[in-house]
Structures are given as C-alpha cells and as structure tokens.
A and B are shown apart, each in its own frame.
Chain A
Amino acid sequence: DSGVTQTPKHLITATGQRVTLRCSPRSGDLSVYWYQQSLDQGLQFLIQYYNGEERAKGNILERFSAQQFPDLHSELNLSSLELGDSALYFCASSVSRTGSGYTFGSGTRLTVV
C-alpha cells in the first residue's frame, strides 16, 4: 500500500456520460497530480494541485476538470465521455510543490463503451 488511495478501481460507463474519480493523497503530502495512461500515448500529465490551488496544467481536455478540497483529497471530473477517454487514470502525491519524487496510487481503469 503506497498510501495514495484511488477510487473506484474500475469504472465502465457509456459515451456521453460523466464520471468522477477520487484520490486521497499520502498523509502529509500537499501536492496532487493526475496522469492519464493509455497504450498509444503513454503517461500524460493532466493537472497538479498544491494545497488546494491549481499549480500546473498539462494536456487536460476542456471536458475534464479537477479540484482539491480542504482535506487535500482531489477529484477528477470527466464529462461528455468518448471512447478515446478509456485509459488508466493515476493520481500521485508529493510533499512539496516540486517534482522531487511522487507516490502513485494504483489507478482507476476507465472503460467507455
């Protein structure tokens, strides 16, 4: 157990739907990062939050949004889902703002049918 908890582990939904992925960071970590892992694109950085504020944004689609709450857990919202959004979504946390080494959760596998 890495200390980073992601729920749910698996999610199957239809095109056009909206889902929410949840991440609880390791105790004491203030930064949360979201990554999308697909076979053809590898690991793509989506967005980073630090202590409740957005810190960096990567290749995140406009249909996707995220937030970090006062208790530091984070949620990634994916809407108007398309078949191509099927992927593993990873959350990682770190104690600081910098990329000095992350702790990853075990991921949420999203399948859009």
Chain B
Amino acid sequence: GDSVTQMEGPVTLSEEAFLTINCTYTATGYPSLFWYVQYPGEGLQLLLKATKADDKGSNKGFEATYRKETTSFHLEKGSVQVSDSAVYFCALSANSGNTPLVFGKGTRLSVIA
C-alpha cells in the first residue's frame, strides 16, 4: 500500500543552521505530496505542497521539491530559528489527490539558540 518514510528524529540544530528532513514515498498513480508542521499542543498545519513531478513547494523559508525519479520530497530550510522547533510530517495523497492523506511518523526538530 501507499506509505511515507521519514528520517527518524529527534533532530537538534543550532539557530541559523541548515535543515534537511528526508522523506521518501511509495504510492500508486501520481500522488500529491505535503509537509505538515505540528507545534506543541496544536493540530497539524499545512506547511507546503506539490502536486506533480518537479514542482517545488515553498513557505516561510521552507522548500521541498517533488522528485519522481527518486520518489522523494525532502524538506529544507537554509537558516532555522528557535521558533521552527516542532514536529514535521511528510504526507501523500495517492491518485492525484483522490485518497485520504497518508502520513509519515513525523520528525521532531529542536532548534537551540
């Protein structure tokens, strides 16, 4: 079945460091890909998305590129801040977005000043 694999956390970085969180997927058809962020005590919020190969999603300094050849959607940010500390989830919706989201297990990021 459809699945998402994320790098295991926790990830701890110093402020202004470069962030990469790896995400690979297995899916039927042409999935849409998403990154969600969950701050402590809150629900998930959509961070960015990409709906077709080679699309780049971006928001708040975060970026991810839909790579069909490597079935990946890695999340990157050039300079993290303490306020970026949260849990990040990679997700997919298979068949061009016609099925419910399947989530990875999440990666906890802690940024220290």
Using a CB–CB cutoff of 8 Å, the interface residues on chain A facing chain B are: 2, 4, 33, 35, 42-43, 45, 48, 56, 58, 90, 92, 97-107
Contacts and interface: CB of A to CB of B under 8 A. Distances in A.
Given A98-B97, A102-B101, 6 more contacts: A2-B43, A42-B103, A42-B104, A45-B101, A48-B100, A92-B44
12 contacts: A4-B43, A45-B100, A56-B99, A97-B98, A99-B98, A99-B101, A101-B46, A102-B44, A103-B46, A105-B43, A106-B41, A106-B42
Contacts, number: 59
Contacts of A4: 43
Given A42-B104, A48-B100, A56-B99, A98 B45 contact: no
Contacts of B104: 42
Contacts of B98: 97-99
Contacts of B74: none
B interface majority secondary structure? mixed
Contacts of A43: 44, 89, 103, 105-106
Interface residues of B, number: 24
Contacts of A99: 32, 93, 97-101
Interface in B44-86: 44-46, 49, 51
Contacts of A102: 44, 46, 101
Interface of B: 32, 34, 36, 41-46, 49, 51, 89, 93, 96-106
A33 B100 CA distance: 8
Contact of B45 (A2, A56, A107): A2
Most buried by A among B89, B96, B99, B100: B100
Nearest to B46: A101
Contact of B97 (A33, A42, A58, A100): A100
Given A42-B106, A100-B93, A58 B100 contact: yes
Contacts of B103: 35, 42-43, 45
A90 B45 CA distance: 12
Given A98-B93, A100-B32, A90 B101 contact: no
A50 B46 CA distance: 20
